[in-house]
Amino acid sequence: MKKYILHIFLLITAITFAQNPKVKAQIETSQIKIGEQFNLKITVNEINNVILPKLELKGLEIIDSVKTDTINDMLIQKYVITGFDSGAFYIPQQHIFIRNQAYLTDSLLVNVATVAIDTTKVKKFPIKSIKAEPYTFDDFKMYIYILLAALAIIGFWIYWFVIRKRKVEEDAPTFRVLPPYEEAVFKLNELDEKLLWQNNKVKEYYSELTEIVRGYIERELSVPALEKTTDEVVEMLKDFNEADTIKTSKETIKKLKELLQEADLVKFAKSKPLSLEIEEDRKDALDIISNLKPKPVRKNDELD
C-alpha cells in the first residue's frame, strides 16, 4: 500500500513540475565592440495569458524588436541591441506575467569594448585654413524682405497722402452755400421725411426742430443762438426788436418762446405733446424763420 501511495505522489509531482511555466533570456554574445549589434531572445513555454515586459536598459540601446512569434507552444520575443559607450552593462531581470503570476528571467552581463585604432597607420594631413562658403539667397533674403517692406510702406504713403488726396480733391463736388432761410426750409423738409415723432421719437424730433430754428437765427442775425438758453435767446430778440434792428413782431417772438419751452419740456420733463400740437409747432417753426429777419442798413445810417 505504501508503495502505491509513493508512486502516486511522484506522479503528481512530475505533472506539477511539467506544468510549471519556464521563462528564459538569452543573448548571442556577452562581448561586443562599440556600435556592434547583438540579439536578445526571451522565451516562455506558454502562449496563453502571457504579458511580456517593456524592455528598459541602461547603457545599452534597443535598435529594433521582432514581432512576437510562437514555435512548438513556446512564445519567443527577440530584440536587437547595441551599445555606444564602453563598459560592462547588465540586462536586468525581466518580469513576465503568466496567468497573472510574475516570473523572472536571469540578468545578463554584456561587455562593450572600444575599437583600438593604430595611429601609426593613419595618414596625417596638414590643417587646412577656413574656407568661406559661397553666398546663397538665404544670406540676403532678410535684407530683401526689409527692402520690399520699406518700398511697400513708402508706396502706400505716397498713394494715401498724395495721389488719393489729390484725386479726392479733384472728384469732390462743389456745393453752393444756401442762404439762411433756404437752408432752414430745406432742413425742415428733411426733418418731415424722417417721420421721427410718427415713430415715437418725439424727443429727437424736437431737438432737431429747435436746432434748425436756432441755427437760422444764428446765421441770419450773426448771434450765438445755439449756445444760449431759451430765456437768453428770447430776451436777446426782445432787445433787438426794441432797438429796431430786426424785422419781426411780438407774436413771432412769443411763438419762438413757446416752441423752445415746449422742446425743453419734451427733452427734460419727458412731456409728450399730442399730434395736433406737434404739427402746430412745425408750422410755428416755419412762421418764425419766415418772419424773423434783420433790418437792412439804410444808406443814411452808413453815411453817419
pLDDT tens, position by position, 131-144 = 777 878 777 778 88
> What is the predicted pLDDT for the residue at 270?
84
pLDDT in tens, 255-268: 999 999 999 999 88
Query: Region 159-180: what's the mean pLDDT?
Result: 75
**pTM of the predicted model as reported, rounded to 2 decimal places:** 0.43
**Residue 7 resides in a domain:** no
> What is the predicted pLDDT for the residue at 122?
58
Give φ, ψ of 50 to 5 degrees: -110, 130
**Residue 291 resides in a domain:** yes
Q: Do residues 116 and 85 make contact, with C-beta atoms less than 8 angstroms apart?
A: no
**Residue 127 resides in a domain:** no
> What is the predicted pLDDT for the residue at 241?
86
Please name which of 90, 105, 112, 109 lies closest in space to residue 41, comparing C-alpha atoms: 105
Q: Is 269 left (phi over 0), alpha (psi -120 to 50) or beta?
A: alpha
Helical spans, DSSP H, in the chain? 2-19, 137-158, 164-171, 180-194, 202-221, 230-242, 250-268, 275-290, 299-303
The residue out of 88, 114, 140 marking a domain boundary is: 114
The answer to whether residues 110 and 185 belong to one domain is no
The answer to whether residues 23 and 110 belong to one domain is yes
**Residue 130 resides in a domain:** no
Q: Do residues 30 and 110 make contact, with C-beta atoms less than 8 angstroms apart?
A: yes
**Residue 11 resides in a domain:** no
Q: Do residues 39 and 27 make contact, with C-beta atoms less than 8 angstroms apart?
A: yes
Distance of CA 62 to the CA centre of its chain: 45
Residue 18 identity (one-letter amino acid): A
**Dihedral angle over CA of 122, 126, 130, 134, nearest 10:** -70
Q: How many domains does the chain have?
A: 2
**Residue 131 resides in a domain:** no
CA distance 114 to 169: 85
CA distance 36 to 27: 13
CA distance 85 to 110: 12
Q: Between 110 and 118, whose confidence is greater?
A: 110
Cβ neighbours, 10 Å, residue 269:
8
**Residue 74 resides in a domain:** yes
CA distance 227 to 236: 13
CA distance 40 to 294: 115
Average pLDDT value for the chain: 82
The residue out of 91, 114, 137 marking a domain boundary is: 114
The answer to whether residues 289 and 188 belong to one domain is yes
Roughly what angle, to the nearest 10 degrees, separates helices 275-290 and 180-194? 170
Give φ, ψ of 91 to 5 degrees: -95, 110
The residue out of 94, 114, 134 marking a domain boundary is: 114
Q: 161 falls in which pLDDT band (50, 70, 90)?
A: confident
The answer to whether residues 184 and 104 belong to one domain is no
Q: What is the domain range of residue 46?
A: 19-114
The answer to whether residues 291 and 187 belong to one domain is yes
Q: What's 66's domain CATH number?
A: 2.60.40.10
The answer to whether residues 286 and 191 belong to one domain is yes
**Residue 94 resides in a domain:** yes
pLDDT in tens, 22-35: 888 888 888 888 88
Residues 6+ apart with CB under 8 A from 166: none
